[in-house]
Amino acid sequence: MEPPPDSLLYYLSVGLPAIPVLGATPSKSTASAAYSIRDIREIAPWPEFNYSTILDRFGPLLNDTQIPLDNYMSPPHPIKSEKHLQSHFSALVMPRVRRALRAGLDQPTQELPQQKIVAMTLTDGTAAKTINQFVPDTAFVPVGSNPSTAINRAPGDLKVSWKWKYSNWNSDDRVLRSEYLKTMAQVNFHMAQHGARHGFILTDTELVAIKRLDTNGRLAVAEPIPWTNGGIGQLSVLLGLWYIGMLAAEDTWSLS
């Protein structure tokens, strides 16, 4: 059944416009002595991160919450660096996920204490407290929290697609596989710093959700959501990020 065009589900099901790449130079991700690919002990599938699960948990909220659809700007300008990607993320993704979280969590305001859910927002990593000078690219933090003390409940890392791809996990190229694990180790490190259970990697071509299974480097990784995915019945980047935000809003967000 098609949801109403003014519903939150419809709003989050819109695909993102493709981002052209121009003049990009192949390069490796930055590294740190604080974490290593050896920190990742296991990578397992996360099949429960899917459209059906989201609708089972939040279907009434997504279908009944009204939010006017807004239009995207003209096609994004080509990118050739992560700074350009961050700019597009700030313009295309962040405000829409924020708006969707606000719309969804504003509905049952009187029930939030009983549901043990707090209102969350998606923002820059500097909106959460800085631990040992490490700052993730993005943060899910409680609305109105103090940046000096706020915990990043679901850290995210932005990578350009010529540096990181989900498919490189199965690559026969040791360098590509090492780059894949390097970014996984980075996100795992940020999640561990904040005690977060969930996190993600977003590139100009895909969103990959991540869940820590324990504190010893075991991760569950969801199937990638293509950047341009959209339409009712399939995951979009916006719906995937909104769901990560809802997981971060629950009292089970932490894995210490």
C-alpha 78/C-alpha 17 separation (Å) is 12
* Residue whose token pair is 């991540």: 210
Q: Which residues contact 75 (CB under 8 A, 6 or more apart)?
A: 17, 18, 20
Say if CB 199 and CB 241 are below 8 A apart. no
The CATH number of 8-14+40-70+78-249 is which of 3.40.50, 1.10.3470, 3.90.1570, 2.60.40?
3.90.1570
CA-CA-CA-CA dihedral for 245, 249, 255, 256, to nearest 10: 120
Residue 115: the pLDDT is 61
Residue 104: the pLDDT is 84
Say if CB 187 and CB 157 are below 8 A apart. yes
Say if CB 79 and CB 21 are below 8 A apart. yes
C-alpha 174/C-alpha 3 separation (Å) is 45
Residue 242: the pLDDT is 98
Residue 112: the pLDDT is 46
pLDDT (tens digit, 0 to 9) for every residue of the chain, 256 residues total? 677 889 999 999 999 999 999 876 666 677 788 999 999 999 999 999 999 999 999 999 999 999 988 876 667 889 988 999 999 999 999 999 999 999 988 755 444 445 688 999 999 999 999 999 999 999 999 999 999 999 999 999 999 999 999 999 989 999 999 999 999 999 999 999 999 999 999 999 999 999 999 999 999 999 999 999 999 899 999 999 999 999 999 999 999 7
Q: Which residues contact 181 (CB under 8 A, 6 or more apart)?
A: 37, 40
Q: Which residues contact 134 (CB under 8 A, 6 or more apart)?
A: 32, 34, 189, 190, 193
Domain borders along the chain are: 8-14+40-70+78-249
List beta partners, residue 44. 220
C-alpha 156/C-alpha 190 separation (Å) is 8
State which H helix or E strand residue 248 sits in: helix 237-249
Q: Which of 213, 199, 196, 192 is nearest to 36 (CA)?
A: 192
List beta partners, residue 45. 221
Q: Which residues contact 248 (CB under 8 A, 6 or more apart)?
A: 120, 140, 153, 154, 196, 198
Residue 111: the pLDDT is 43
Phi, psi of 198 (to 5 degrees): -120, 155
